[in-house]
Structure 1
Amino acid sequence: MPTHSIEWVPFPQLLLRGAARHPDRDCIVLTDARLTYAQLEERARAAARSLLALGVEPGDRVGILMANCLDYVEMLFGASLIGAVPVLYNARFKAREIAHVTTDAGVRVIVTNGIVEQHTDYVALLQQAIPGLAKMTPRGEHEAPDGAPALRSAIFLGDETRTGFIDRTAFLKLGQDIAAERVDERCRAISLEDPAVMFYTSGTTAMPKGCPLSHVVLQHAGIVGAVDRLRLRAGDVMWGPLPMFHTAFTQPLTGILHVGGTYVSMTHFDAGEALLQIERERVTAMFPAFPTITLQLLNHPRYTPDAFRHVRVMLNVGPPEELRLMQSRMPHTVQLTAFGMTECGGSAALSSPDDSLELRSNCSGFALPGDEIEVRDPDSGAVMPPGQRGEIVVRGRGVFTGYHNDPVKTAASFYPGGWFRTGDLGELDVNGRVAFRGRLKDMLKVGGENVAAVEVEGYLATHPSVNLAQVVGLPDAKYGEVPAAFIELKQGCTATEEEIIGFCRDQIASFKIPRVVRFVDAWPMGATKILKYELKARLVAELGVS
């Protein structure tokens, strides 16, 4: 299907259209639960009616804080059906960050459940973040809690009751007297340019910032990417294990719903269980996105070269060397890579199955139809010629228009003409394909020489014992900073600091060689990315440098 023939509809209508066309087909599958399109529509409508009973108006914010589960998807679509804006809390946020998001977004209703993720009790976390939560009443006849002036209701979709929360039974009962037509009226009134969802992205120093995405921006990467690059087919089965609060969920979700397929996920990622699930559900497309996930699958004892024999296409993002190594172990699957971010609803550029292995590993392909990409000098803003590195900038139908409640940050993030400054370092080739070369802030300055951490990481990944490598800058009195590497070894493999450093000698420039190597069994993680600042802080404290 050419992209110009895509029929754009507001996000919740993806579900309604699918339910009308193939009601009995599986829509969402988790390890031990599944819903057909018709069942998900029924549950989403029930949630929508109950939210209407609580007085939720178009544009109101409905916060969702849960692990991956059916409740999450039901509330996401339930809020969307009535024109409310789901605010997707990062499930790894702590109390201070949750309090900030609740206030900054103006959350009116918060929804959570009893699934504990990584030892986190979300009810306890919300009560810590919003101390007045316990005094709330089921129908909102109370003063707003301190620090959350817009909050009126909290919902707990668990098996028991929690103080200050409306329980599942009471919540669903609220909507029984609400006419179904009211949901349809609200849904018909949604415009494609209305805000569809709000993500919160985190930096290393500032509080998370809100990224409201319109219905088009939310779906653009997923649908255009599905049609033009992943080439999804009717009835495909997409496996995506990443958190549902992330665009690495909404991008493949919207793509697979567009073609009437099935989305398969997990509440808690486990490589062994994932391999069984991929085989059992006959997955045809995969969106692990990050080597931290894919390598666990490839290195699991249960994995064989035929494990992905039904999988036509997979998306991963990583250094070229790592991508080539992963592709070499997946004979039945074409691996694509991408460039993108939350502000673009996911991918802004994607490689193509028609590209050679070299192109699919060394660059992220062309901008998706509807988007444009340039590379500019980060200081002057001048457009850089092909082959010259600079800041990647993007504009188009798949790009958001600005941060919530932060006009200063928004103004600093755009060039005239709607060009969004991504903060990523890259270059374009003569044909216009974009290659990501690291974060501008992830560049090391070693004695006056610029060193891209991603370049060193990519070389270290070629060592036969290395599963994953991360490079940070270590303060140094002589050179300003020097590279330091953190390495996770493959299962059953060994290596020493001296061996890793020796592996780099005469292979990469001397100023790029890590001066210090540390081995790790686990990584400090954000939503989907390794927290390098925590690695750096750990090493600085250990060595006593500043």
Structure 2
Amino acid sequence: MTPDILKQHWSRFIGPNAPDPHAYKYEPHSHAIFKSPYGPFPATPPDLNIHEFCFPPNNPLPPDYPLFINSANEETVTLHQFYARTCALARVLRYDGPNPLGLRKSPTNDREYGEIIGLFSRNHVHYPMVAHACFRAELVFGGISPASTPYELWWVMRKMQITSLMCHESLLPVLGEALKLGSGETDQSSPLRLVLDPSKVIVLSDDAALDSVSGHATVESLVRLGTKLPEVPRKLLGGERLAYLFQSSGTSGLPKAMMISHKNGLHSGLQGMITGVQGALYGGAEPLSPHRLLGVIPMYHSFGMILWILRINLQPLTNVLLPKWDIELALQSIQKYKLTALPLVPPLVRQLAQSPLTDKYDLSSVQGAISGAAYLPPDVAFQLARKLPQGGSMPIPSGYGLSEAASIASPPPPGIFGLKPALPGTIGYLLPGMEGRVVDPSTCVDVPKGQKGELWARGHVVTPGYFKDAAATADIFTEPGWLRTGDLVMRDENDVIHYLDRLKEMIKVKGLQVAATEVEDTLLGHPEGLVRDACVAGVDNGRGDGSLFVRAWVVLTSEGARQSEEVVASKLDEWVKQRLSKHKWLTGGVEAVDSIPRTPSGKMLRREMRDRYHAQLKNEGRSKL
């Protein structure tokens, strides 16, 4: 008997006991553990594989449509082509098939060793096909940032225990330099050695006609080989088994590798289906209608994984991919393909909100935008919304998740389940299937509503832990099942979650805590519009008492640049003093800079700005000797 979750109808995503979006009224409460207004997940088979969740066995494919389009050259992959190519490549990658690459069986957890293939590429129309071929072949993969330096690549391949690698042709030089660093025998920071077999490197080339590049087989050559191999019917295994590894953002220290099981991955994809169906039912629309998305979020990232890989064939989505961010190409793509949805990260929201280029293009097809992966300042959420058909009354919502739990909270449609609006500056309500607590990080005791504490999360999307790193895993699971997010939040009277800051980024001033994001939002909200980006961090006060000064680095708008830096600094200092408590004042000064460093997903690198400032002070001290 086919489980309901694998049947062909949108009702499979909400289950028989799902709350009615009109009749059900969510009641806030004061219990320490609070739950999603959307209710629990629908039941899924315990051994379900992500690929079979997206392409249920014995279900015919829907009518064909363009699935991925490369906006730069119009190369197109349709849904039917995607599925056929995925099946072909999976036959080649399967360890117990003809196995021309000599791949081993993959580990099912981090107590085992085996084949793990790294995916080292920028966004590409065939990247999702490789990922799904891995799911279908039960081959574990690890997503690696294409922005990695040779040293970072070398480090991540060791942390993930990468044994084989798919590398985009443009990144082969980076791989070559990484291999020169050796096995890591002399590196005392990690016991894990480089185990990549160079003979198992395959190349993702932009030229589909090539069979090899630099002596390595191409992905296309393997797809062609796979079309000639017989399909062996088999029950795919998934569930709690390891599916892929994520590279942590590395905002504090070198990146780690976190494990994502098939159960984790498919439930991350399922959350968007649940919220989409319930939102459509609430708005009186047909659930899961076709959409056309702007594809710029990196595929190796947890946000991109949900968008471009975990939802394939769950809803008719045409994804127009940008090989790299180009604001004019993005606007051209919106106009040309009449895109309806814009998944973005905060730096891109800001660029679109502030760019005069938006006036040159027709954005009338856009039904909505959403931001994720990092904190979105409220002023930017309103600015971009005013440029879109939705208008300023519906600011850009910002979802919340981590690599360790891809999707935890998000603002829902106003009024659904009787919920109060989740305004910009908040991260909304818990997503389907999630439970939360707000806990004092030092005592691990739950705090009352209205008080700040660390957000703990529980649900099927939460990682089992870090690969081959029991100590790091223990740090994030003080209590079994409860993920310590490392983020400071406040749960208000309506159970809306307000994001305050990364716990490690909180600034201690004379024993009092300062949330950097609060000060940054204040600077961005100056009535003269002097600042278009801001970074705040705690810097050494020079007294040796452990307390810090609050310092700001700002990127000026054209209005701010027109005035002198001294005048701007003085105005911003006075503005903060008017708006915030004394311990939040800018005692460390204000400095104008050309840009604020960020990770590719938009996370601000406050540590880099702080370290740069301390190095500058040290050098100035030496020069005076």
Normalized against structure 2, the TM-score is what?
0.77
SS, match of residue 96 in structure 1: helix
**1:58, CA displacement in angstroms?**
4.6
**1:517, CA displacement in angstroms?**
2.1
Alignment of 1:147-166 (within 5 A): 147-148=194-195, 152-158=199-205, 159=207, 161-163=212-214, 165-166=216-217
SS, match of residue 77 in structure 1: helix
Contact 1:221 1:348 in 2 (8 A): no
Gaps of 5+ in 2: 1-10, 17-41, 107-114, 183-192, 281-286
CA distance in 2, matches of 1:256, 1:177: 25
SS, match of residue 375 in structure 1: strand
Say yes or no: does 1:418 pair with 2:481.
yes
Alignment of 1:372-451 (within 5 A): 372-451=435-514
For residue 607 of structure 2, the aligned residue among 530, 533, 539 is 533
Contact 2:538 2:548 in 1 (8 A): yes
For residue 21 of structure 1, the aligned residue among 57, 61, 84 is 61
The one-character-per-residue Cα deviations of 1:460-480 (angstroms, maximum 9, x if unpaired) are: 111313222111112112473
Partner residue of 2:335? Answer: 279
Partner residue of 1:456? Answer: 519
For residue 340 of structure 1, the aligned residue among 401, 421, 424 is 401
Say yes or no: does 1:506 pair with 2:561.
no
Whose radius of gyration is greater, 1 or 2?
A: 2
**1:397, CA displacement in angstroms?**
1.4
One-letter amino acid of the counterpart of residue 200, structure 1: Q
Partner residue of 1:3? Answer: 14
CA distance in 2, matches of 1:168, 1:434: 44
Normalized against structure 1, the TM-score is what?
0.87
For residue 127 of structure 1, the aligned residue among 154, 176, 194 is 176
Contact 2:169 2:204 in 1 (8 A): yes
Alignment of 1:2-401 (within 5 A): 3-4=14-15, 10-13=49-52, 16=55, 20-31=60-71, 32=73, 33-52=75-94, 53=99, 54-59=101-106, 60-115=115-170, 122-131=171-180, 147-148=194-195, 152-158=199-205, 159=207, 161-163=212-214, 165-168=216-219, 170-172=221-223, 174-175=225-226, 177-179=228-230, 181-182=231-232, 184-185=233-234, 188-204=235-251, 206-228=253-275, 233-253=288-308, 254-255=310-311, 257-288=313-344, 290-304=345-359, 307-316=362-371, 317-332=375-390, 334=394, 335-344=396-405, 346-354=406-414, 359-401=422-464
Of 102-111 and 445-454, deviating more is: 102-111
Are the structure 2 counterparts of residues 311 and 13 from structure 1 closer, same or farther at C-alpha, using a change threshold of 3 Å?
farther
One-letter amino acid of the counterpart of residue 30, structure 1: N
Are the structure 2 counterparts of residues 374 and 306 from structure 1 closer, same or farther at C-alpha, using a change threshold of 3 Å?
farther
Q: Count matched residues.
A: 522
SS, match of residue 390 in structure 1: strand
Contact 1:240 1:263 in 2 (8 A): yes
Are the structure 2 counterparts of residues 225 and 270 from structure 1 closer, same or farther at C-alpha, using a change threshold of 3 Å?
same
CA distance in 1, matches of 2:560, 2:273: 38
SS, match of residue 21 in structure 1: coil
**1:168, CA displacement in angstroms?**
5.0
Are the structure 2 counterparts of residues 287 and 408 from structure 1 closer, same or farther at C-alpha, using a change threshold of 3 Å?
same
One-letter amino acid of the counterpart of residue 600, structure 2: A
Partner residue of 2:536? Answer: 471
Are the structure 2 counterparts of residues 168 and 426 from structure 1 closer, same or farther at C-alpha, using a change threshold of 3 Å?
closer
CA distance in 2, matches of 1:91, 1:250: 15
Q: With CA pairs under 8 Å and 6+ residues apart, which has the higher RCO, 1 or 2?
A: 2
The one-character-per-residue Cα deviations of 1:422-473 (angstroms, maximum 9, x if unpaired) are: 1100111233222111001111112332110010011111131322211111
Gaps of 5+ in 1: 116-121, 134-145
CA distance in 2, matches of 1:306, 1:175: 43
SS, match of residue 15 in structure 2: helix
Partner residue of 2:5? Answer: none
CA distance in 2, matches of 1:55, 1:174: 15
**1:227, CA displacement in angstroms?**
2.7
Identity %: 25
One-letter amino acid of the counterpart of residue 97, structure 1: E
Contact 1:426 1:435 in 2 (8 A): yes
Of 385-394 and 157-166, deviating more is: 157-166
CA distance in 2, matches of 1:442, 1:107: 32
**1:24, CA displacement in angstroms?**
1.9
Of 357-366 and 394-403, deviating more is: 357-366
SS, match of residue 471 in structure 1: strand
**1:327, CA displacement in angstroms?**
3.5
Contact 1:130 1:148 in 2 (8 A): no
The one-character-per-residue Cα deviations of 1:205-246 (angstroms, maximum 9, x if unpaired) are: 543211111223223233313431665722122224111110
One-letter amino acid of the counterpart of residue 24, structure 1: D
Of 79-88 and 374-383, deviating more is: 79-88
Partner residue of 2:553? Answer: 486
Contact 2:536 2:550 in 1 (8 A): yes
CA distance in 1, matches of 2:315, 2:43: 11
Are the structure 2 counterparts of residues 61 and 369 from structure 1 closer, same or farther at C-alpha, using a change threshold of 3 Å?
same
**1:386, CA displacement in angstroms?**
0.5
CA distance in 2, matches of 1:416, 1:15: 33
Are the structure 2 counterparts of residues 343 and 125 from structure 1 closer, same or farther at C-alpha, using a change threshold of 3 Å?
same
